[in-house]
Amino acid sequence: MPARLSRRSSVIATALALVLLPACSTIKDTESSRGPTAELPEATLVAPIAQMTCEPDTEPSGEPVVVGGSLSLTGPLASSGAVHDEVAEIVVRWVNDCGGIDGRPLEWRVLDDQSAPGQVTSNYERLIGDGVDLVMGPYGGANTLAGAGPVTKAGYAYPTHTNGAPDRLIGENHFPAWQIGGGVDNPADMFDHQAKTLVDALDSSGNAPKSVFYATAKFPTTLSYAGAAREALEESGARTVGSVEYDMGTTDFSAIATRIASSDPDLVYVGALGADVTNVHQAFGAIG
């Protein structure tokens, strides 16, 4: 059975991996004579884990603390999986540059689930069988639910990446980095709850949109959220001026951007995955 202290430390490290992205190397101002930052001291390496002391001159040694995870490195969710995998690698390097976990090196071991929930289950069974110290959850609601069974049965904590599954269905050992479907007593209310939160936030701005365009990836969770948001926004008085559902893996959004621009909405609702938002922005930049 994995050591509890090591598992706890690793939980903190991997959970923070999803929200901490700054570079960890020393930064020098090459134009020290210019700008308001000229008198600032050089940046130093700090620990990415709460209450962890960073010891950059200490080389971690001994058996590694192994964090095992399943991510969609291929298939329709690959663009999202690649982001999470890269961030995990960044944090592992960061922790090891700070001396490791209790002097031991941190190791990230990831298996490709090919964007298939069935493979997620098999991957966690394999990782647990290999005796990893901690598991990190996959990306996406269906994948998260698929991994919950073997992880919970083995008694591991289950920190997860972004997912839209109701947290009450995942288990008490679940620690979400970003839980889209949290905060509801009845999982059936998840999408409506999120839609109400959105409408309330827009109303509180004092400048609620009067027209909305919806662009949504053909993914079950994003489609459900978009449908609930559209219903709630229309009930609040916002008019739908356009809607498009695009295939997962789409990278060229120029046609969609043109449609949005011609509709001239007050708000664009994008039910996106992975790099979709970046690609949408690039498409708008291309059309001016």
pLDDT tens across 228-246, in order? 999 999 999 999 999 999 9
Q: pTM score, two decimals? A: 0.71
Return the number of other C-beta atoms located less than 10 Å from residue 239's C-beta.
Answer: 12
Return the number of other C-beta atoms located less than 10 Å from residue 125's C-beta.
Answer: 16
pLDDT tens across 80-126, in order? 899 899 999 999 999 999 999 989 999 999 999 999 999 999 999 99
All domains in the chain, ordered by first residue: 4-176 (3.40.50.2300), 187-287 (3.40.50.2300)
pLDDT tens across 169-198, in order? 788 888 877 766 666 767 778 889 889 999
pLDDT tens across 32-42, in order? 445 666 676 67
Nearest-angstrom CA–CA distance, 265 and 213: 6
Q: How confident is the model at residue 7 (pLDDT cuts 50, 70, 90)?
A: very low
Pick the range with the lowest mean pLDDT from 59-63, 126-130, 133-137, 274-278: 274-278
Residue 94 CA from chain centroid, whole number: 19
Residue 279: pLDDT above 60? yes
Cα torsion through 126, 132, 135, 136, rounded to 10: -100
- Cα atoms in the Cβ-side hemisphere of radius 13 Å centred on 127: 30
Q: How confident is the model at residue 128 (pLDDT cuts 50, 70, 90)?
A: very high
Residue 248: pLDDT above 90? no
Residue 141: pLDDT above 90? no
Distances, alpha carbon 172 to alpha carbons 156, 217, 254, in Å: 11, 30, 43
Q: Tell me which H or E stretch contains 214.
A: strand 211-217
Task: List the Cα angle 63/136/148 in 5-degree steps.
Answer: 125
Please give the share of the chain, as a percent, with pLDDT higher than 70.
82
131 CB-contact burial (10 Å; exposed 0-12 / middle 13-18 / buried 19+): exposed
